[in-house]
Amino acid sequence: MSKKLVVAVFFVLALFICYRVEQKVYETKTYSYYKKLDAQNGGITEVGSEQVLEKEAASENLIVNQKKKVAYLTFDDGPSEITKDVLKILEEKGVNATFFLIGNQITEDTIPIVKQSIKDGNCIGIHTYCHECKVIYRSTDAYLEDFKKAYDTIKEKLQIEPKIFRFPWGSANKFLADIEEEVIQKLESEGFEYFDWNVSAEDSVGRPSSYTIMNNIRRDYKKYNKPVILMHDSSINKLSAQTLPQVIEELKQAGYTFDTLDHMDTPYQYPRD
């Protein structure tokens, strides 16, 4: 092996080591940030800082404009009457989204809404049955019991068997920490995958407006080839539905297509300790 070739090999190896070290640093900072508390949101912060997200985007996507850009719209806390408005907009715009359902929200009134969502090609995921922090995060058994109740409700009333789910307040919330490993291991062993998000509309925090919802999404989505956008479709999220057309149009103009999370190659998840 020539001297020049040896030097080249060592140079490439050094670059790779530097990249891995930097990637580990950003993952640690990102995970630590999502542990922060937010008194306005039940003691849990759902939103990453701009600085942390910039590091994350740079490490995960490298050069955004050189890769295919796919956006994943996700809606938590439904179904509700607002879900109908969201579905109408999605159909008009020709895009699909992923809906994480709360089991006790699936009633005789909302079943037709969810069935229409499925018919339209949207994806359904589980968002627990009761969405009550003190109930679901009390213990591993408590979470799994609530999860099974949500799964059974969806299976019975909607005749589908969803395999994706989202933890209320995300996988980095402090209440999940003590039971996280056992819960994730158990559910993954049964074929379930969980998804977090990297862009938040912050439409369930404080007193949002159409301006703040759009601004929060605009602040971060361009940093990602695959932005996973958190929005909500509960009965109090009328503004989210009203802002959705603008969100979709801006993302389209920025060169993004849309898809559902069940088509994502690797689930987007916050780094774990």
Q: How is the chain split into domains, by residue range? A: 63-263
* Rounded CA Rg of the chain: 20
pLDDT tens across 88-138, in order?
999 999 999 999 999 999 999 999 999 999 999 999 999 999 999 999 999
Residue with the two structure tokens 């050069």: 63
pLDDT at residue 36, rounded to an integer: 40
Averaged over 197-224, what is the pLDDT?
A: 97
Quote the pTM value: 0.80
pLDDT above 90 (res 258): yes
- Residue 194's SS3 state is strand
State the Cα–Cα distance between residues 171 and 167, nearest whole angstrom.
6
Architecture label for domain 63-263: Alpha-Beta Barrel (3.20)
Residue with the two structure tokens 């956006």: 71
C-beta atoms surrounding 204 within 10 Å: 20
State the Cα–Cα distance between residues 61 and 196, nearest whole angstrom.
17
Which comes out higher in pLDDT, residue 236 or 38? 236
Average pLDDT of the chain to the nearest whole number: 86
pLDDT at residue 1, rounded to an integer: 52
Write the CB contacts of 134 (distance below 8 Å, at least 6 apart in sequence): none
pLDDT tens across 64-97, in order?
555 799 999 999 999 999 999 999 999 999 999 9
Q: Is the CB of residue 48 less than 8 Å from the CB of residue 271?
A: no
pLDDT at residue 10, rounded to an integer: 56
Confidence of residue 272 (pLDDT cuts 50, 70, 90): confident
pLDDT at residue 67, rounded to an integer: 79
Hey, what are 267's tokens?
């689930």
Following CA atoms 120, 122, 125, 131 in sequence, which dihedral angle do they give, to the nearest 10 degrees?
-80
State the Cα–Cα distance between residues 230 and 98, nearest whole angstrom.
10
pLDDT tens across 8-54, in order?
555 545 555 444 444 443 333 333 334 443 434 444 544 443 444 55
pLDDT tens across 150-165, in order?
999 999 999 999 999 9
pLDDT tens across 212-223, in order?
999 999 999 999
pLDDT at residue 45, rounded to an integer: 47
* 95-115: b (≥16 Cβ within 10 Å) or e: bbbbbbbbbebbeeebeebbe
Of 50-54, 93-97, 240-244, 253-257, the poorest mean pLDDT is in 50-54
pLDDT tens across 163-172, in order?
999 999 999 9
pLDDT above 90 (res 140): yes
